[in-house]
Amino acid sequence: MNEGAEVKQGILARIRWKSGYMNPALRRIAEKVLKDPFEVKSISIKDLATQCDVSESTVTRFVREVQVPSFQHFKILIAEELSQGTGAPAQLTDRHVYEDITEEDDTTSIMSKVTARYAMTVSDTRAGLSAAALERAVMAIEEADVLAFFAMGASLLCVESALLRFMRVGKRCFFFRDLGIRQISTSTLGPKSLAIGVSNSGRTISTVDSLREARSQGATTLAITSFPDSPIIRHADISLFTPTVTGVVGTAEYHESMVSKIAQLQVIDMLYSMYAVRNFGSAIEGLERTSDVTSLTRY
C-alpha cells in the first residue's frame, strides 16, 4: 500500500451511521439496503421503492442523503463493497487486528492506514453530525442539575474528557468506575438530571441498562454511539451518532477500535464548546477558578 493511499468509508457503514437521523420513509430504505445488500445491488429503483412503500423520488432523495450522485452509482458502490468483503468464512490472513490491518501489512502500510482512519473519522464526524441534535443535547446540558455518565472499556476515555471539560466550567457531574455503585447511582437521578451513555457499539449491557434505569427515574437520556439500530437507542431521548469504519461483515464488538474514540472525544468537545459559548460569563469564571486550583499541582 502506498504511503499516501486513502481509506474510504464504505457505503454500507455510511448508511448504517446516517440512518439514525433519517425520517421513517428514508429509514425503511436504509433498513432494506442493510438487510439485503446483495439483492439491492441488482434491483431497479422502481422495485426498491415498491418494497419500501415509498416513491421513486424518495429513493433518489435517500441516495443523495448518503452522498451518492445517482441510484446507478449507488448500486455500483454496493456491488464493489460486497465484492471486497464476501460472505465466505475469513481466512487467517484476512483477520483484522485493528480496523483493516492484517498480518500482511508492513510498517509503511500500517502507518498509512492508521493515519487515514483517524483523518477520515474527524472529517466524517463533522460532516455527519446533526446540528439540531447537538443543539438539543446542549439545551439538555444547560437545564440539567447534574450530568451522570455511563460507559465501559475504551469509552471511559470520552467520559474522563467530559468530566474535565464540564466540571471546569462549573457543571456538576458524576461517574463511578465501580460497576455496582454505578448501577445504584441511577436511583438518585430525577427529572432535572441528564444521563449520558457512551458506547460505540451501543450494546454494552451495563451502559444500556443504566440509561434505561435513568429514564425510568424521569431523567433525560443522551446516547453517543455509532449504531442507530443498537439497543441503547431505545432508551435515549437524544442520540448523537459517530461514524463507523467497518467491513461488510462482522459485529460492532469485533471491529471496535481506538479510532471510534476520536469521534467520541470530538463530539464531547463540540458539546462543551457550544455550552461554554452559550454560558460564556459563568464558563470563564469557572475556568479561572479551577485554574487557581490546578496551578497548585504543577511546578
Q: Say which residues have a Cβ less than 8 Å from residue 117's Cβ, sequence separation at least 6.
A: 7, 99, 245, 257, 259
Domain segments of the chain as ranges: 1-87, 131-297
User: Which stretches does DSSP call E strand in the chain?
Assistant: 146-151, 173-174, 193-198, 220-225, 238-241
User: Are 1-87 and 131-297 equal in CATH topology?
Assistant: no
Query: In the structure grid, which three cell numbers stand for residue 29, read together?
Result: 430504505
Number of neighbouring beta carbons within 10 Å of residue 37: 18
User: One-letter amino acid identity for 259?
Assistant: V
Q: Say which residues have a Cβ less than 8 Å from residue 190's Cβ, sequence separation at least 6.
A: 217, 218, 219
Choices 2.60.40.10, 3.40.50.10490, 1.10.287.130, 3.90.870.10: CATH for 131-297: 3.40.50.10490
Q: Model pTM?
A: 0.73
pLDDT at 251: 40
pLDDT at 85: 57
Q: What is the spatial distance between Cα 115 and Cα 92, in angstroms, rounded to a whole number?
A: 24
pLDDT at 236: 97
Place of cell 443543539: 135
Q: DSSP letters of 105-129?
A: --HHHHHHHHHHHHHHHHHHHHHHS
Series of mean pLDDT values for 10-residue runs along the chain (299 residues): 46 80 88 91 93 94 92 92 56 53 83 82 84 96 97 93 96 93 93 96 94 97 90 96 58 54 94 97 92 80
Tell me, what DSSP letter sits at residue 94? G
CB 244 within 8 A of CB 17: yes
Q: What is the spatial distance between Cα 101 and Cα 86, in angstroms, rounded to a whole number?
A: 17
Would you identify the CATH topology of the domain 1-87?
Arc Repressor Mutant, subunit A (1.10.10)
pLDDT at 172: 96
Q: What is the spatial distance between Cα 34 and Cα 32, in angstroms, rounded to a whole number?
A: 6
CB 207 within 8 A of CB 198: yes
pLDDT in tens, 209-241: 999 999 999 999 999 998 888 899 999 999 999
Q: What share of the chain is helix, strand, coil (3-state, %, to 5)?
A: 60, 10, 30
Q: Say which residues have a Cβ less than 8 Å from residue 99's Cβ, sequence separation at least 6.
A: 113, 114, 117, 245, 255, 257, 259
Q: Say which residues have a Cβ less than 8 Å from residue 40's Cβ, sequence separation at least 6.
A: 32, 33, 48, 75, 78
